[in-house]
Structure 1
Amino acid sequence: MTSAEEIINHFNNKAKLSEFLSQFLELKNRGNSHIAICPFHKEKTPSFTVSDDKGLYYCFGCGEGGNVFNFVSKYKNLTAKESLKFICDYVGIPMTENNSFAKDNNKKKIIEINKVINDFFKDSLSNNKIILQYLEDRKIKKSSIQKFSIGFCMSRIEPLKKYCEQYGYFAEDLLEVGILIKSSKDNSLFNRFGNRITFPIYNNLKEIIGFGGRTTNNSKIKYINSQENEIFKKGDGLYGMTQNLNNIKAENQVILVEGYLDVISLDSNEITTSVAALGTAVSENQILKLWNHLNTPIVCFDGDEAGRKAMKNLTGRVLKILKPGKSIKFINLPDNTDPDDYIKSFGKESFCRLLEGSIPLSEFIWEEIKNKHEIFTPENIALIDKDIKIICNKIEDRNVASEYYRFLKKKKNDFFRNVDNTNFYKKNDTTKLKNFNEIKDINEIILISILIFNSKIMLDSLEDIASLKFKDLKLQEKKEIIIKKIINSQDLKDFELTNHFLDYFSEQKKLFEKVKLDHFKDLNNNEKKELVKNILKNLQLPALIAERDLLKKEMIENIKNIDMPFLLKKYHKLNKEINSIKKREI
């Protein structure tokens, strides 16, 4: 650590001031703060107040106040250097020699420039009807625009330079904070956030330390952030915490979402307890910061491949630093849905029910372990035991690790106690499914299931699917209903069509869900398309065989036909395709 401010900020990120002061004082809870008898003057009634949110203390009796550094210096009568060393030892960080005066002045300058820049961005947005209309189309309320100080950065740099010059900041200052960038080709200057909606990022003192920006054109990079510097580290901050902190405390709830607009969209839907990581994977520091405010944050990432992968990666980082009483929960959104999509489709009340039914980390991990294995042979069951050990070894707190091992082993034992040894379905399930080897026309069922759960990726194959005649007349009828609905509902999203189909075919809902789980849940879109292509060939097999047999008959009856070389070539091609399909396993 190189400066007093950095050490104090690190302390506030990793520890609570009240827990630190409890070494020296007898603190009592009082609402959102703590009180104690002041150690700096004699009193009978407690007037010494501690705020964990601000990282500050104040005595209403004698007027003493400050941060952790001020307390240590006065209470223990230490020099500045000794006080910083004491704090570093408490949070487990090294302290290095450094003259931090110049750095502290530079940080103050960056914060002042950021405020001026943000005022310019807000003015630019208020005068840009196109971007205001874009936000209105996204159902972003004016109150949310004001609450989060949303702005807009135009591509031209001259208006920004001219505005900042009024406050004594010039191009070199804007280059220093990273708002302007110098081209490596011709040394010309351009705006880092040009043609982007801007989102100021605050620290816990409500100072702007950086910006996020979302593209308004077709840029391949949707979101960017300020460059990292002395005061801005992407892995430390949480967007929306400053604006939503009071609601988070009042409702005893915090929702971690993926991006800036997720936080703002939820706010526009009157859900005011969300925060977001700053465009990066969630870091340990951000998890610790969440835990400073709430023991069990709820994670609600998008229901796409990237969102599910991010949730899985997050579990690894959380497991490492789990402590007694600290954890996270998860919401699984429908496929290709973000929080805003869900609320628009199902309403705020439905989203709130998802929050109430969020999945504990331990249950989420068990489902991940279980779903890795399609068939529960003795060898795979042994792999589950191995997975449980690997997961528990990631947890540094041995007490928590021991409880996780006990929990996951019990989940495994309970699961297999309720499983049929032949087909691996629950014995007490009245809607028990057949073993798939016993189901006739499995290819037809898989094709119907993909149509139900991933209709949009099937558009290129709809004509081929429509031309097929299924052996199962009931499935043929379902196929025709589904294709007609897909063609007439191009504006609906995958998850909306899925919900419609599952309601419509409720009697076979479990079958279709099981087919998805066993055959294509973990496939990406290209792999699903390849699977469909192979299934179509399988289903076309009877027609190909009939065509080959008819061709063979024609060749035998017309042995002297002058087109025999052509017929032979066609026959061999059909035969090769038939043999290829027969060898393929779906």
Structure 2
Amino acid sequence: MAGRIPQDFIDDLLHRTDIVDVVEERIKLKRTGKNYSGLCPFHQEKTPSFSVNPDKQFYYCFGCGAGGNALGFVMEYDRLEFREAVETLAKRHGLEIPAQSNGPQHRADKERQQSYALLQQASDYYQQQLREHPERDKAVDYLKQRGLSGSIAKRFGIGYAPPGWDNLLKHIGTEQQNKLDDAGMLIMKPEQKRTYDRFRDRIMFPIIDMRGRTIAFGGRVLTDEKPKYLNSPETHTFKKHEELYGLYQARQANRELHRVLIVEGYMDVVALAQFGITNAVATLGTATSANHLQRLFKLMPEVVFCFDGDNAGRQAAQRALETALPLMEDGRQAKFLFLPDGEDPDSMVRSEGTEAFNRRVDQALPLSEFLFDSLSDSLDLESGEGRARLSALAVPMIDKIPGQVFQQLMRQQLSEISGLERQFFTPKAEPSPPSAAPQNSAPSHRAPDYSDYDPGYGDYDAGPAEPPSSFKARTNRHRPAAALATTSNGARALQLLLHNPKLALKVDLETSDALGSLQHTEQGLLKALIEQLRNDPNIPTAILLLQWRDSDYGPQLKQLASKELLISSGEQREQEFLGCLEQLLRQTREAELDYLKEKQQNQQLSSKDKKRLTELLLAGQRRNHR
């Protein structure tokens, strides 16, 4: 677990960084007025729609909506995690990320870093032995027999652990014996006073994490020795139920991964890559876990499981199905590909070629089809008993699906198969427990702290992160149509505020409090931003957007900030901003007043509504007498 990066360090780093320099190091930009433009690196286009604003230190693509600050650009373009991106920008300025602790956590981090360094040395050593060892020929011949080229072996860092008991230990140095043992590279038997290399006379496959670090190894034997494949034990750098072989290489080879193919072994992954299929990964001596799938679904929407077509393959597929069901949010897809008996992805792609194999993947069974096929395999669906049995088996599995749309579609499919009405499979809604909180409680806003921001790749874990501020609109008790629609005044006020955060100092407390008492989401959002910017009016727009990036309204704020203002005068901007706020208050109060008047004609108002109606009428009279 990496330590937190201090927020003030991140802020200072962004202050020092010129986003134009960062972007121009990676793509070609052309000056267009105040901004710079170029072809967007995040989607295919022929006409430039990618814009970089040096004043706001912000980039935005009008074609695909990508946008953010220098840190976000480095993360997206270089495909780095948050911490790596911070390190990249820090190196530009000769800065070191400060450590926040010298306690046990700091020492554990240091030990892990030492293990990463030793494991990389081991990987370099094994690759060198594949090139230079006197007995390298048998390893090279094996790889050639499997149809692997030198370039593909280099891409995956494949190496050779030569025969002998302590080659690696001697190469690294006996003084590192305990650290090599911690990294899983030795077998120590104190009772026999013996220490020797874990991997001997094997083809070596380094296991790389999402940050490109060697964290473990898998070794394939070249003799009849058992086991055929040997993995590193679990260590402080390697947890087999979390890591996937080939995922790092797949992300490096594909800027956008829309689908991943889960296969059984290292050689399947490498052989498929040899044939241009670069989106395959393999589990590491264990079944696909929920952790594996969570990680994959963060990166792409579709997962295809690949199994042998025999009974063992079907049983493994059933376990994968049960693991996947609780993770099937709407928009996610899981499919199942069964190969002919006796075939694996390696042999299959060699016999039929890339195009035919890809067709197999395209035609893989969707999860819904596999679920009903597997459950009805031994049932007579022509009989009522068979359909009843299918329903009894399927309903508990469907209930595990969290995606409401997908779950309802599965119920509908079960209804069609069983011949029963769909309502029969719809659970009755349980009465909601009474809520102690009032419906009209004020919205709570707090800009999130990004000192431990995790973009979702799962490797940089900075400890328990505070959840980003998710803006929730208040329950709309008066429901006027004008208050529900997105207002141009609200959007314009937000845009002006994002371009000039110091405008928040021009808003009096009465106005900001009134914004918080209204029912519209944008008005509550304005209040939250105004309160934040009163405390920090000099914050650059780029850092402000970073702080709101992971909130529900991050994309909306980013889009508003990307639009140019047609007025440049600070005085004109202030007048328009305050005018927008006044219009917002007036329009919403008028809508609420109309609603209460109409309600009064049709029914008796509650004492609370009467009080509110009186307040609105008196406020209107005061404004008319001004």
Q: Report the Cα offset of residue 358 of structure 1.
A: 1.8
Q: Is the 8 A contact 1:5 1:104 kept in 2?
A: no
Structure 1 Cα separation of the partners of residues 215 and 259 of structure 2: 25
Change (3 A) 1:356 1:338: same
Structure 1 Cα separation of the partners of residues 200 and 264 of structure 2: 23
1:210 to 194, 216, 220: 216
Structure 1 Cα separation of the partners of residues 59 and 211 of structure 2: 29
Classify the secondary structure of the residue corresponding to 1:198. Answer: strand
What do residues 449-479 of structure 1 show as CA deviations (whole Å, max 9, x unaligned)? Answer: xxxxxxxxxxxxxxxxxxxxxxxxxxxxxxx
1:370 is aligned to 2:376: yes
Structure 2 Cα separation of the partners of residues 304 and 5 of structure 1: 49
Structure 1 Cα separation of the partners of residues 245 and 130 of structure 2: 20
Q: TM-score when scaled to structure 2?
A: 0.52
Q: Is the 8 A contact 1:150 1:200 kept in 2?
A: yes
Change (3 A) 1:36 1:297: farther
1:338 is aligned to 2:364: no
Q: Report the Cα offset of residue 210 of structure 1.
A: 1.0
The answer to which structure has the higher helix fraction is 1
Please tell me the residue identity of whatever aligns with 1:124. Q
Please tell me the residue identity of whatever aligns with 2:249. Q
Classify the secondary structure of the residue corresponding to 1:4. Answer: coil
2:196 to 190, 194, 200: 190
1:347 is aligned to 2:353: yes
Q: Is the 8 A contact 2:164 2:201 kept in 1?
A: no
1:4 is aligned to 2:30: no
Change (3 A) 1:58 1:246: closer
**Count of matched residue pairs:** 363
Which structure has more relative contact order (CA 8 Å, sep 6+)? It is: 2
Change (3 A) 1:382 1:98: farther
Q: Is the 8 A contact 2:182 2:235 kept in 1?
A: no
Structure 1 Cα separation of the partners of residues 346 and 413 of structure 2: 35
* Percentage of identical aligned residues: 26
Classify the secondary structure of the residue corresponding to 1:170. Answer: helix
Q: Report the Cα offset of residue 106 of structure 1.
A: 0.3
Q: Is the 8 A contact 1:151 1:197 kept in 2?
A: yes
Classify the secondary structure of the residue corresponding to 1:181. Answer: strand
Change (3 A) 1:80 1:395: farther
2:80 maps to which residue?
Answer: 54
Structure 2 Cα separation of the partners of residues 4 and 406 of structure 1: 48
Change (3 A) 1:37 1:192: same
1:118 maps to which residue?
Answer: 123
Please tell me the residue identity of whatever aligns with 1:130. K
2:258 maps to which residue?
Answer: 252
1:567 maps to which residue?
Answer: none
1:268 is aligned to 2:289: no
1:100 is aligned to 2:133: no
Q: Report the Cα offset of residue 162 of structure 1.
A: 2.3
Q: Report the Cα offset of residue 327 of structure 1.
A: 2.0
Q: Report the Cα offset of residue 366 of structure 1.
A: 1.6
Q: Report the Cα offset of residue 397 of structure 1.
A: 4.4
Structure 1 Cα separation of the partners of residues 296 and 344 of structure 2: 21
Structure 2 Cα separation of the partners of residues 59 and 290 of structure 1: 21
Structure 1 Cα separation of the partners of residues 105 and 163 of structure 2: 36
Q: Is the 8 A contact 1:257 1:276 kept in 2?
A: yes
Q: Report the Cα offset of residue 247 of structure 1.
A: 3.2
Change (3 A) 1:261 1:390: same
Q: Report the Cα offset of residue 399 of structure 1.
A: 4.8
Please tell me the residue identity of whatever aligns with 1:48. N
1:221 maps to which residue?
Answer: 227
Q: Is the 8 A contact 1:178 1:227 kept in 2?
A: yes
Please tell me the residue identity of whatever aligns with 1:105. K
2:332 to 317, 320, 326: 326
2:412 to 396, 399, 406: 406
Q: Report the Cα offset of residue 44 of structure 1.
A: 6.8
Classify the secondary structure of the residue corresponding to 1:332. Answer: strand
Structure 1 Cα separation of the partners of residues 85 and 393 of structure 2: 53
Change (3 A) 1:162 1:404: same
1:287 to 274, 288, 293: 293
Structure 2 Cα separation of the partners of residues 328 and 5 of structure 1: 35
What do residues 323-379 of structure 1 show as CA deviations (whole Å, max 9, x unaligned)? Answer: 110121121211121012212322222112112212211111121122132574322
Q: Report the Cα offset of residue 98 of structure 1.
A: 6.8
1:153 maps to which residue?
Answer: 161
Structure 2 residues not aligned, in runs of 5+: 6-38, 44-48, 61-67, 421-626
Structure 2 Cα separation of the partners of residues 372 and 42 of structure 1: 65
Classify the secondary structure of the residue corresponding to 2:307. Answer: coil
1:390 to 396, 421, 425: 396
2:570 maps to which residue?
Answer: none
1:298 maps to which residue?
Answer: 304
Change (3 A) 1:58 1:341: closer
1:471-550 alignment runs, 5 A limit: none
Q: Report the Cα offset of residue 312 of structure 1.
A: 1.4
Classify the secondary structure of the residue corresponding to 1:331. Answer: strand
Q: Report the Cα offset of residue 56 of structure 1.
A: 2.6
Classify the secondary structure of the residue corresponding to 1:232. Answer: coil
Please tell me the residue identity of whatever aligns with 1:295. P
Structure 2 Cα separation of the partners of residues 265 and 360 of structure 1: 25
Change (3 A) 1:64 1:132: closer
What do residues 416-437 of structure 1 show as CA deviations (whole Å, max 9, x unaligned)? Answer: xxxxxxxxxxxxxxxxxxxxxx
2:206 maps to which residue?
Answer: 200
Structure 2 Cα separation of the partners of residues 5 and 334 of structure 1: 50
Structure 1 residues not aligned, in runs of 5+: 7-28, 74-78, 82-96, 415-586
1:130 to 134, 138, 159: 138
Q: Report the Cα offset of residue 411 of structure 1.
A: 4.0
Change (3 A) 1:311 1:249: farther
Q: Is the 8 A contact 2:262 2:306 kept in 1?
A: yes
Change (3 A) 1:248 1:372: farther
